[in-house]
Amino acid sequence: MAAKRSTAHATTTQADPMPEGQLPLPDWMAAASAQGIKPEQALAFIGLGLMQKMAGSAAELPWVWNEVEDGGSADLAALRQRLELVNLALQTGAPLSTAEVTVLLGARPGASVVERGGLRARRLSRNVWKLSKAETSNPGFSDGFRRRL
Specify the range with the lowest mean pLDDT, choosing from 25-34, 84-93, 100-109: 25-34
- pTM confidence score: 0.45
Q: 37 lies in a domain? A: no
Which residue range forms the structural domain that includes residue 100?
Answer: 77-133
Whether 122 shows a pLDDT value over 90: the answer reads yes
Q: 15 lies in a domain? A: no
Q: 30 lies in a domain? A: no
Q: How many whole angstroms separate alpha carbon 90 and alpha carbon 29? A: 39
Domain count, the chain: 1
Strand order in the sheet with 119-125: 113-116, 119-125, 128-133
**What is the arithmetic mean of pLDDT over 30-37?**
75
Q: 33 lies in a domain? A: no
Cβ 120 vs Cβ 105: under 8 Å: no
Average pLDDT over the chain, rounded to an integer: 73
Q: 129 lies in a domain? A: yes
Q: 96 lies in a domain? A: yes
**What is the arithmetic mean of pLDDT over 87-104?**
90
Buried b (16+ CB within 10 A) or exposed e, 2-12: eeeeeeeeeee
Strand partners, 97: none
Q: 5 lies in a domain? A: no
**What is the arithmetic mean of pLDDT over 15-27?**
58
Q: 117 lies in a domain? A: yes
